[in-house]
Structure 1
């Protein structure tokens, strides 16, 4: 009975003993509650060794990366320096070439050729105008006038303008209509161009047209012009500000060939060969232009070396 009670008491004591304490006692019954087999000092020493190995490895990797990066940068720098040197050499070569072009006589030669070309153009326009000097251009003749009736219609017109002129002097070599310019109104009739056989009646007709009232009600819708080349018309258009100012001031002028103005002012004849010359002359006379007359040909400027050699 004593044994049974002893077993029951020991079992009850074991039952009420906390499990962690039991496990610790069961785990190492002969340790006597001492320290574990691996001490903290031993673990700390191992960690320091591993850290030193890792640090050494990282230093080695950084040195290798730095060496590789430096070599790569040196190669790229050498390539960039080579490219910059080549660009500098090419720039110097171009600057030298530009200096030669600016210092030689090319600009003067081009300007001389441009002047000669303008002279040839004016001469060609003058020859073309001389071939048209017997021509007249009539604007406003209705399209209902048949082409075969144009000569009779124009002869009656000239007879009305020059009643004292014999019909034999009003001979026309040819007469026909010309294409309508793009700027003309759609319903406007085409112009009629004709060539007079004699030159004097042509001038008499133009002189009579200076008095518009001479046309009368029968022909007041007509306009008569001399026939000029396109180049001459363009040149005369540049003189328009000058001619307007001269008419407003009551100063007489007439056209010369090649295109120029012959002005009679205070009994003195002045020849104006360009719009710029005319503007300066009219301003010296005290006349103001509506707008400045500009040269058709621009002046060629000589190139100057404004760069800097390095």
Structure 2
């Protein structure tokens, strides 16, 4: 009887020893897996940091390229609404006559020197979609600035009964950024407040004789909301 019990106990002990060996092996495997997971997590974190760095560098490069494009267009103006084919075969000569006609010959004593001019190959959007803009590059930057100033003073420009608009020639990306201030600009126009949109995208206006600068729409909206509430 004792021998039989010793045999059973020995068998159980052998089984327990085998189980302990299996558990020890499993613990080692789990430990190795945890180590590998930890290494992979570190690698993922490092990759995420690299991706974020690359995204910032890419965004910075895009901004620099866009800025270079816009600076290369610093002498350009875009004329919207001029009827198609009205320029004939010589766009430069036509624009040399059209600009004084739009702004008034009494305002332009000397016709601005035009370096080049051409119709845009693509159509504009909206109701003037069939009238492609005319791009004009002036020899002197001051001529471009003066034309924009006179256009703002006159407000409405017409050619043969057709409304013509004059805009700076910015890239599509910068135009989109500047449009963020459209709602604020409408409020300022209605309130008859003097403002300007500085290059590349900063809203400037005078408040009680002091200049205020806004580089994002939310800042401007918060300021003007409080301003109109507190103003007498």
Same fold, judged at TM 0.5 (above): yes
- 5+ long unaligned stretches in structure 2: 1-25
Task: Answer yes or no: is 1:150 the counterpart of 2:60.
Answer: no
Task: Answer yes or no: is 1:274 the counterpart of 2:200.
Answer: no
Secondary structure, aligned partner of 1:155: helix
Counterpart Cα distance in 2 of 1:250 and 1:242: 12
Task: Answer yes or no: is 1:225 the counterpart of 2:167.
Answer: yes
Aligned CA-pair RMSD: 3.6
Secondary structure, aligned partner of 1:128: helix
Counterpart Cα distance in 2 of 1:113 and 1:267: 44
Shift of 1:210: 1.7
Task: Answer yes or no: is 1:191 the counterpart of 2:133.
Answer: yes
Report the TM-score when normalising by structure 2: 0.67
Equivalent residues in 2 for 1:60-71 (5 A)?
A: none
Task: Answer yes or no: is 1:137 the counterpart of 2:78.
Answer: yes
Give the match for residue 203 of structure 1. Answer: 145
Equivalent residues in 2 for 1:155-304 (5 A)?
A: 155-160=96-101, 161-164=103-106, 165-167=108-110, 169-181=111-123, 183-184=125-126, 188-212=130-154, 215=157, 218=160, 220-286=162-228
Change (3 A) 1:144 1:182: closer
Shift of 1:140: 1.8
Change (3 A) 1:105 1:188: closer
Change (3 A) 1:277 1:213: closer
Contact 1:162 1:205 in 2 (8 A): no
Change (3 A) 1:235 1:88: farther
Counterpart Cα distance in 2 of 1:180 and 1:101: 45
Counterpart Cα distance in 1 of 2:178 and 2:168: 13
Q: How many corresponding residue pairs? A: 202
Counterpart Cα distance in 2 of 1:114 and 1:234: 21
Q: Which moved more, 1:278-287 or 1:262-271?
A: 278-287
> Which protein has the larger Cα radius of gyration, Structure 1 or Structure 2?
1
